Structure 1
Amino acid sequence: MTFWGRLMADKVAVLSMSIILLVAAAGIFAPILAPHDPTKMNMVHKYAGMSAMHPLGTDNLGRCILSRLLYGIRTTILYALITTLITIAIGTILGIIAGYFRGKVDEIIMRFCDIMLSFPSEVMILAIVGVLGPGLLNVVIANIIAKWAWYTRMIRSVVIQYTNKNYIRFAKVSGCSTNHIMRKHLLPGVSGEVAVFATLDTGWVILNISALSFLGLGVQAPTPEWGMMLNEAKNIMITYPSQMLVPGLAILIVVASFNFLGDSIQSALNPKLYQKKGAKRNVFTRSKKSISA
């Protein structure tokens, strides 16, 4: 069974991908799906309950929560994906260079990585945002600076394993250029591991963006963003709990979907791990049937 066959056979993976694609589509078509302008204030409808006009109610300024939730997808998930892609690109390039060339090049890159990894990523992100100032762009920059070293080290370890493969040695002996070997052999070889890292890390970036916006260091009002929505609702969480429940559940569901999808991709890339996972599932099914019988 191929990678895609194993992935599509995993119900958790299919469900996770479906949720992610539906949320992404909702964000893309937010101008069509949103019933109101997400930044338009109407104090007459302040804290209005669920209705046909406002399906999820309104916030402290009379703004439609559903509209802000839909437009918040663009801010939260789009910038999380951009951050992850840039970080992966930097980490993959440096990781392949360090793992392939080794020697002084590897030593210099790894020493820079050691310096960056000596600081806790959350503390570094807060420090960078504190220096650069609040703002979504600064949050993206801070996340990239804090994570590129981790990606570089992980990709390097994978590349070192691949450089000892026979087809890499044959390519070197055949006179293939270094650029050709990196693009045609090493990059496709590490793409599976990169996909796993990226999927798992996207959820972490979403949490970071939302957390910094919640603290007032990320997205600034009136831009709709899930963490900002939580920040605006924290003072009324007892009297109007639905104000925090909606963006909180959105963050939970999307982050969990990315994490479950990452685990499923990892299992699909490793046939042994996939078979082990399938065996456990079959044992659970048989035991469940025997109990019901």
Structure 2
Amino acid sequence: MHIWRTFKSDTLALACLFVLAAIILLGAAAPIIAPNDPVDTNLKAKFAPMSLQYPFGADHLGRCVFSRLLFGIRTTVWFSLIATMTTVAIGTLLGVISGYFKGWVDETIMRLCDVMLSFPSEVMILAVVGMLGPGLENIVIANIIAKWPWYTRMIRSIILQNIDKNFIRFSKVSGSSHFHIMKNHLLPGAFGEIFVLGSLDTGVVILNISALSFLGLGVQAPTPEWGMMLNEAKNIMTTHPTQMLAPGIAVLVVVAAFNFIGDKVRDILDPKHMAKEGKKNESIESGELVCR
């Protein structure tokens, strides 16, 4: 509730939420909204200008740029969210188990994380995609493999900050099960930080999918995807530079929105910000009492 109250008072944060919600809904309604089939070619309409039939014009094969942009939401944004949520789920599970049980369980999970984190995430993603081959599903798998150790370490540190607090000790003494303590006490306290990590990393996953598709290691033609659209537009950049605008701006807007929301939630959860908001609420309440 505290986070939502602060969000409602920030116009830019609400705008970012609205943009992301609208983009996700546009991706869901793409078959209804799109004026053309995103993979149908029509060489007669090659580089057609903006019109009712081609709202953003047509590409070098006569395909509707607007239709490909809409269907690209499914491959670029949806699969990024799937990859992030899966990674967060794995990292949260292992991080909570590692921080709660400690001992040999903690040592085993942390040593495995050390091995995985010894490789830069970009190198790990390229290596996994190189072994599995190009494809959207393989990019998602590569991102999960490269990112779960980082989430596990971060969430473990959050759990260790709360594990020795009095309400956790009381739950242990009162006979609550390990699952009950982790589910009802530790996870709710870490949810804010988990949301921040996930929202910030979603933008990174979108960039990874787009970058690998741009390099030819991700989504393969003719599947509509924003990075693939940039890859196809780069060959005609000198003659038709506007072909890069639609997918480039789409990637920029979505990544910026995810990053801003993550930064905003992180600022809200900052103790200094919470103290400031508390003083502000106290002054408002005192003012209301004086008026009464």
Letter in 2 for 1:40: D
> Does the residue aligned with 2:235 lie in a helix, a strand or coil?
helix
Q: What is the aligned partner in structure 2 of residue 138 from structure 1?
A: 138
Report sequence identity in percent: 62
Q: What is the aligned partner in structure 1 of residue 88 from structure 2?
A: 88
Q: Kindly state the Cα deviation for residue 103 of structure 1 after the two structures are TM-superposed.
A: 1.1
Q: Kindly state the Cα deviation for residue 269 of structure 1 after the two structures are TM-superposed.
A: 2.4
CA distance in 1, matches of 2:168, 2:157: 16
- How many residue pairs end up in the alignment? 278
**Within 5 Å, which residues of 2 pair with 1:85-234?**
85-234=85-234
Letter in 1 for 2:106: D
CA distance in 1, matches of 2:203, 2:125: 16
Q: When the two structures are superposed, what TM-score results if normalisation uses the length of structure 1?
A: 0.92
CA distance in 2, matches of 1:247, 1:7: 28
CA distance in 2, matches of 1:93, 1:213: 30
Letter in 1 for 2:193: E
Q: Which sections of structure 1, spanning at least 5 residues, go unmatched?
A: 278-293
> Does the residue aligned with 2:41 lie in a helix, a strand or coil?
coil
Q: What is the aligned partner in structure 2 of residue 53 from structure 1?
A: 53
RMSD value, Cα:
1.5
1:137-185 deviation per Cα after TM superposition (whole angstroms, max 9, x unaligned): 1100000000000000000000000101111011011111111101111
> Does the residue aligned with 1:263 lie in a helix, a strand or coil?
helix
CA distance in 2, matches of 1:159, 1:205: 25
CA distance in 1, matches of 2:274, 2:122: 33
CA distance in 2, matches of 1:238, 1:101: 59
Q: What is the aligned partner in structure 2 of residue 289 from structure 1?
A: none
Letter in 1 for 2:208: N
Q: Kindly state the Cα deviation for residue 271 of structure 1 after the two structures are TM-superposed.
A: 5.3
CA contact (8 A) 1:199 1:259 kept: yes
CA contact (8 A) 1:12 1:261 kept: no
> Does the residue aligned with 1:236 lie in a helix, a strand or coil?
coil
Letter in 2 for 1:13: A
Letter in 2 for 1:269: L
Q: Which sections of structure 2, spanning at least 5 residues, go unmatched?
A: 278-292
CA distance in 2, matches of 1:202, 1:276: 29
CA distance in 2, matches of 1:269, 1:99: 21
Q: When the two structures are superposed, what TM-score results if normalisation uses the length of structure 2?
A: 0.92
